[in-house]
Amino acid sequence: MDRDKLLKEIMILDFAAVDLGLYLNTHPNDERAINLYNRVVNKADGCRTKFEKFFGPLCSFRSPSRECWTWIDNPWPWSEKFNKNL
Amino acid sequence: MWIYEKKLEYPVKIKNTNPALAKLILTQYGGPDGEIGASLRYLSQRFTMLTPQAKATLNDIGTEELAHLEIVAAIVHQLTRDMTTEQLKESGLDAYYVDHGDGIYPANAAGNPFTAAYLQSTGDPVVDLYEDMAAEEKARITYEYIMRFIDDPDVMDPIRFLRAREIVHFQRFGEALMYVQNEVDRKKIHPVKKPKCFENDCEC
């Protein structure tokens, strides 16, 4: 399992969801956009679950924890090593 | 309520230290058209916004600006890694350094601290949305001015992303304004009470 590849996938999908969400705020009846939004969100959900299972939590109050609280150990996104290979 | 996720909205991976560039980019953190001002502006204005479309637009763009704030800070942080005293002197970041060291501080490119005077929240949905459209344009032109000084593709990449978002947000605020304007026209009453002099029986 490639951490950076999976993280990049989540970032791409989440950005698509953010952008579609903004569009839908002012075009709430656009069925094509809603379908696309749902596809993106579902796929991102799957990737997020997979990422957290192998590489630790993305969120400090929504993600399940392992026996040890790894939230404090995983790199922060502004650090060099976090997204060096994205 | 907000949810923090341990990732950036767009990746930042800068190899080379460049304090001179960091000094310029810092203005999009805490300068007059920077991301913290944008976020505060929209998140404050949403309480008196009209129509479901415009409320959601302010809420969600105000939230995205927080993610942009983190991207700008990550760029400055990575550009100021392992600075030598010589680099600090030559770059002009030395004055900032004696006040803040390697720290990230909300200031403009000239070092003036962030102030809420950079933004408005008037309580009038129409007035606020015009300000928001202007704010997105001002942030866009600031990114373009910054781009003149970037010769590092590692820096250009996330800056280009941030500039593009200003254009999208401008578009969304324009659409939100259309909804608000229609609502005001439909109700034939402005959301904010007009002064008495606007009434027909005014004697002054």
Q: Domains for chain B: give ranges and CATH numbers.
A: 19-194 (1.20.1260.10)
CB atoms within 10 A of CB B126: 18
**To 5 degrees, how large is the angle CA B52–CA B58–CA B64?**
130
Report the pLDDT value the prediction gives residue B197, as an integer from 0 to 100.
Answer: 83
Owning domain of residue A42: 3-72
Are B15 and B77 contacting, i.e. CB atoms less than 8 angstroms apart? no
Q: For tokens 């601290």, what's the residue?
A: B113
- Written as one string, the DSSP assignment of B14-67 is --S--HHHHHHHTHHHHSTTSHHHHHHHHHHHGGG--SHHHHHHHHHHHHHHHH
**pLDDT of B116 higher than 80:** yes
Asked if residue A84 belongs to a domain, the reply is: no
- All residues of chain A having their beta carbon less than 8 Å from the beta carbon of residue B13 are 80, 83-86
B/e letters for B16-44, b = 16+ CB within 10 Å, e = fewer, are: ebbbebbbbbbbbbbbbbbbbbbbbbbbb
Chain B residues within 8 Å of chain A (Cβ atoms): 3-13, 53, 56-57, 60-61, 64, 70, 73-74, 77-78, 81, 168-169, 172, 175-176, 179
Q: Do the Cβ atoms of B4 and A23 come within 8 Å?
A: no
Q: What is the pLDDT of residues A17-63, one digit of tens each?
A: 999 999 999 999 999 999 999 999 999 999 999 999 999 999 999 99
Structure tokens at B9: 């909205």
Mean pLDDT of B18-35: 98
**pLDDT of B202 higher than 70:** yes
Are B93 and B83 contacting, i.e. CB atoms less than 8 angstroms apart? yes
Asked if residue A83 belongs to a domain, the reply is: no
Report the pLDDT value the prediction gives residue A85, as an integer from 0 to 100.
Answer: 66
Mean pLDDT of B75-104: 97
- All residues of chain A having their beta carbon less than 8 Å from the beta carbon of residue B168 are 19, 22
Are B80 and B93 contacting, i.e. CB atoms less than 8 angstroms apart? yes
Collect contacts of A17-23 with beta carbons under 8 A, ≥24 apart.
A17/A41, A17/A44, A18/B9, A18/B60, A18/B64, A19/B168, A21/B60, A22/B57, A22/B60, A22/B61, A22/B64, A22/B168, A22/B169, A22/B172, A23/B172
Asked if residue A61 belongs to a domain, the reply is: yes
Asked if residue A81 belongs to a domain, the reply is: no
**pLDDT of B171 higher than 70:** yes
Asked if residue A32 belongs to a domain, the reply is: yes
- All residues of chain B having their beta carbon less than 8 Å from the beta carbon of residue A8 are 11
Best to test chain B binding among A13, A20, A26 (most B CBs inside 10 Å): A26
Asked if residue A78 belongs to a domain, the reply is: no
ipTM at complex level: 0.95
Asked if residue A60 belongs to a domain, the reply is: yes
Q: What is the pLDDT of residues B122-154, one digit of tens each?
A: 999 999 999 999 999 999 999 999 999 999 999
Does the predicted TM-score (pTM) go above 0.90? yes
Domains held by chain A: number: 1
**pLDDT of A84 higher than 70:** no
Minimal CA–CA distance to B61: which of B129, B147, B144, B157? B129
**To 5 degrees, how large is the angle CA B170–CA B176–CA B178?**
105
Q: Do the Cβ atoms of B7 and A74 come within 8 Å?
A: no
Report the pLDDT value the prediction gives residue B61, as an integer from 0 to 100.
Answer: 98
- All residues of chain B having their beta carbon less than 8 Å from the beta carbon of residue A60 are 4
Asked if residue A79 belongs to a domain, the reply is: no
Are B28 and B35 contacting, i.e. CB atoms less than 8 angstroms apart? yes
Mean pLDDT of B80-91: 96
Are B15 and B153 contacting, i.e. CB atoms less than 8 angstroms apart? no
